[in-house]
Amino acid sequence: MPTWIFTATSRTGQPVNPVTKAPSDSVTVYDKADLDRRVAAAKSDPRDLIVTVDRID
């Protein structure tokens, strides 16, 4: 099964990581449906996110 690294970075500098308050955060995603949900949510996020998805196997 494919695996992805999903990274979101705020263009506005607002925190993305709820623990460290960093404006960027990455997470490993193991399910295509989960990846699709994250990408869709990022599109409407008010922090104007830059999203990168890198496939790893």
Helix (H) or strand (E) run with residue 21 in it: none
Residue 54 CA to residue 1 CA, distance in Å, equals 14
Residue 28: which residues within 8 A CB-CB, separation 6 or more?
A: 3, 4, 5, 6, 56
In this structure, which amino acid lies at residue 21?
A: K
Provide the pLDDT for residue 45: 95
Tallying the residues shown for the chain, one arrives at: 57
Q: What value does the mean pLDDT take over residues 24-45?
A: 97
Mean pLDDT (the chain) is: 96
pTM of the model: 0.90
